[in-house]
Structure 1
Amino acid sequence: MRLTHLLYPQRFLKMARVGIVTTLICPTLLAHQAEAESTIPFKPIKHVVFLNPGHATETFWAQMIKAASTTASSLGITLEIVNAKRNTDEFIRLGKQVMMRQDPPDLLIITNNHGLAIPILATSDATGVPVMIVLNSLSPEQHKIEGKPLGRHTYWLGSVSPDHQQGGHDTMQALIERHHKVYGKSEGAVIALVGGLHDEASRLRLRGVQDALRKAPYLSVDRTFQANWNYEDAFKAVDRYVKRQDSSLPLRSIWAASDLMAIAAIDALKLNGLRPGEDVIVAGMGWTREGTDHLRTGEMEASAGGDALATAWALVLLAAVQQEVITPEALGTRYYSMGLATSAAPDSYLDEIPMEVLSLKPMGRLVEIVATLPNNAAPFLPPPPRQASPAGTLEHESLASATEEE
């Protein structure tokens, strides 16, 4: 099956002027340029480029690439990885470069880290290369301007993201339950480590934390640090916070939006003579191998995961479209559940979500499962992301850079 939708003549003529149309449409359609509407079929998706915003060697991105590569192979898709190495300017440059190739890919998969999907979508409009967004969907503010998939941006097919808010809530709830066992309802301070300030993943995960804390008034977030998803910034933030000790409440919990930042917090606590898991309880997200190891030692209390499957799920859903299981319009913005593993059951994620990547099994078979889902269902049939917190909740948080000056 080829994905089809309507494209108005003025956009058709604009694309013809840049010499791109002939690589995207059937020759038999060229005679119909003057018609009121033109149906432009995409080529069958065989060659896909994943534009990785990080380094291929970083644990999380390596996990995502492995899952996507295994799934692509099972679906007969060639997956090419292009790495931006945490350089935002390079991310935009590489995205444009890929779409402007003489022989561009059939699909470009990107993230919306730091809101960088917007210029990529603009280039997609000009080149006609289809785009899917994974992991970080567009924010509500961006959606108001950019619209929905297959709308203003004709070649934006859809988005696939984990339920970040649910994951943030569940990991914070695990910290609260552990605090209650160790300290009862005595008061304590919490510090939070988030990724990028403008990442929807950071915003929603932190919102989930706030939702959980409403039921535990004896715990309060003293500081929220923007640690940029990396070890060094998270380590510096926690080390500086512990050394200053300027909070009126004892530090009891550290919540981190990724396992990597949680491990940095653990190392900083140790450097300052504190015992992770006893003096201070730590949670992360991502189900990385290193994170799971810290769950087994008890130094980390919880980790929510499944987010590394976002690109693999995007490929599964696209295969479902090409096999006429669902329509292109049914892709839209889809969310899937994140599972929770704790120090008491560090391998429980294998039961909660079929993490195909960890057992190195391809996800191609899941195309058939997608066939049984209604059009508005996410791959794992969860409810949509919760938005219970007021929109302004984040505004009063004390958000600081992890690298702020002394």
Structure 2
Amino acid sequence: MGVVQAASEKDRAGAVGASVVFLNPGYSNEPFWVGYSDFMQAAADSLGMRLRVIYGERDRERLLDNARRVLAEPEQPDYLIFVNEMYTGPELLRLFAGSPVRLFSLHSTLTPEQQGLTGGTRERYRHWIGSLIPNDREAGYLMGKALIAKLDGRPAQMLAFSGVRNTPSAALREEGLHRALAEHPEVKLQQLVYGEWARQRAYQQALLLLPRYADTQLVWAANDEMAFGAMRAAQELGREPGKDLHFSALNNSQEVLQARASGQLAALVGGHFTLGGWAMVLLHDYHGGQDFAQRGGKDRVDPVFSLLDAEQAAVLSKRLQVPGYGLDFRKFSALYQPGMTNYGFSVEPLLE
């Protein structure tokens, strides 16, 4: 109790009231990005921070306009969190180059090619203080391996639905899939298409692809929306998901968690919706004088993606409906846990 109390006094002197703007690239009614922001808000409430979320509605110009409006406001936030969606990162760094606002890249950071021009965090753009991204490559690999395991080494054909072409998270998940396929030459990838993360587009694509490749037994999808679109097409074509056609998916919607719990999905990877909350912990500590760079580095790739079995999916489904997710975020903060040497963020606290 004494440790927490002492930390609270230090926190009140430094980190309470840190203000954060999150330039959310998604739609304001998109389940994934809304849930992502909700987890950030739970962290902000727990840590005494102020958070404002501004949605970009998946429109590059709108996202940049949102950033310009923040920059024009008379009272600037302490921190701006951005996602390198649609490769907007370098433009955002340039916009805020002369501002006192500190920037933090989340979910997807600048690509190596982009950083070749801009420099990395705390280099040319000194106010770009760090990044936190998920293990996307590992997520694609875990889904691929779990899906292939359903056939116990038998030869098989696969279709794959990736996200938006040339976006970092989609490309990394594809790399993971190809690594899994390289380990299983008995599985042939017939075609990979870009479903743009959208249920309707994947549905339309699957209506064409499943008859073309009638012997397909495995369908790898880089998110849940595309998995459900392809699943709907399969059902309309007389296939039975979970029986003669096995699907993978990624995300944490109630719909996808229930599909995994019921066995309709053969493989599910989830957990990256927690990233925003963990970023709030890092900024909270930084604001209070505890630089996260000293506890795992300024640029983090955390294993927030986990392969979820049916039981874990059911546990997580219930946990996501608990107010504040049932978490005290101070337990993950170096300000409250001064002996911490690394943060070790993951989805595990929500599976307990």
What TM-score do the two structures reach when normalised by structure 2? 0.85
Aligned residue for 1:203, secondary structure, equals helix
Determine whether 1:115 maps to 2:90. no
Question: 2:332 aligned with 1:363, yes or no?
Answer: no
Matches for 1:155-174 after TM superposition, within 5 Å: 155-174=127-146
**Could you tell me how far apart the structure 2 residues matched to 1:123 and 1:277 are?**
49
Corresponding residue of 2:3:
none
CA distance in 2, matches of 1:356, 1:174: 29
Show the counterpart of 1:219. 187
Change in CA separation of 1:374 and 1:280 when aligned onto 2, cut-off 3 Å: same
- Asked whether the equivalents of residues 141 and 177 of structure 2 are also in contact (C-alpha less than 8 Å), the reply is yes
Kept in 2, the 8 Å contact 1:70–1:362? The answer is no
1:185 aligns with 2:163: no
- Identity, in percent, stands at 22
Letter matched to residue 199 of structure 2: Y
Residue pair 2:292, 2:298 contacting (<8 A) in 1 also: no
Across the aligned residues of Structure 1 and Structure 2, the Cα RMSD in angstroms comes to 2.8
Question: Is residue 2:150 matched to residue 1:200?
Answer: no
Aligned equivalent of 1:342: 309
Query: CA offset at residue 96 of structure 1?
Result: 2.0
Q: For the Cα contact (< 8 Å) 1:197–1:226, is it kept in 2?
A: yes
| Residue-by-residue CA offset, 1:66-96 (whole Å, 9 max, x unaligned) | 1100000111111111111111211111122
Are 2:27 and 1:58 equivalent residues in the alignment? no
1:30-68: CA deviations, max 9, x gaps? Answer: xxxxxxxxxxxx998622111111123222112111110
* Higher deviation after alignment, 148-157 or 249-258: 249-258
Secondary structure in structure 1 of the residue aligned to 2:28: coil
Count of aligned positions: 331
| 271, 276, 279: which one aligns with 1:306 | 271
Matched residue, 1:385: none
On the 8 A contact 1:302/1:343 being kept in 2, the answer is no
Query: What's the secondary structure of 1:251's corresponding residue?
Result: coil
Which runs of 5 or more structure 2 residues have no equivalent in the other structure? 1-13, 348-352
Moved more, 311-320 or 363-372: 363-372
Structure 2: how far apart are the matches of 1:311 and 1:196? Answer: 21
Q: Residue in 2 aligned with 1:241?
A: 209
1:73 corresponds to:
45
Equivalent of residue 256 in structure 2, options 291, 295, 305? 291
Is the Cα contact below 8 Å between 1:49 and 1:109 reproduced in 2?
yes
Q: Unaligned stretches of 5+ in structure 1? A: 1-41, 382-406
1:160 aligns to what SS in structure 2? strand
Q: How has the CA–CA distance of structure 1 residues 179 and 203 changed in structure 2, closer, same or farther, with 3 Å as cutoff?
A: same
Q: For residue 252 of structure 1, report the CA deviation from its aligned partner.
A: 1.3
Stretch deviating more after TM superposition (325-334 or 126-135): 325-334
SS of alignment partner, residue 296 of structure 1: helix
1:395 alignment partner in structure 2: none
Q: Summarize the alignment of residues 11-160 of structure 1 with structure 2, pairs less than 5 Å apart.
A: 46-160=18-132
Deviation at 1:101, TM superposition (A): 1.5
**8 A Cα contact 1:341 1:349, kept in partner:** no
Q: 1:150–1:329: 8 Å Cα contact kept in structure 2?
A: no
Instruction: Tell me the secondary structure at the aligned position of residue 126 of structure 1.
Output: coil
State whether residues 64 and 309 of structure 1, in contact with CA within 8 Å, keep that contact through their aligned partners in structure 2: yes
TM-score, L = length of structure 1: 0.74
Bigger share in helix: 2
CA distance in 2 between counterparts of 1:209 and 1:373 reads: 35
Conservation of the 8 A alpha-carbon contact between 1:165 and 1:204: yes
Q: Deviations over 1:264-294 (max 9, x none)?
A: 1211211211111112111111122111111
Q: Separation in 2 of the partners of 1:139 and 1:354? A: 32
Conserved 8 A contact 2:22-2:52 = yes
AA of the residue aligned to 2:85: N
C-alpha deviations, 1:149-169, integer Å up to 9, x for none? 111112111111111111111
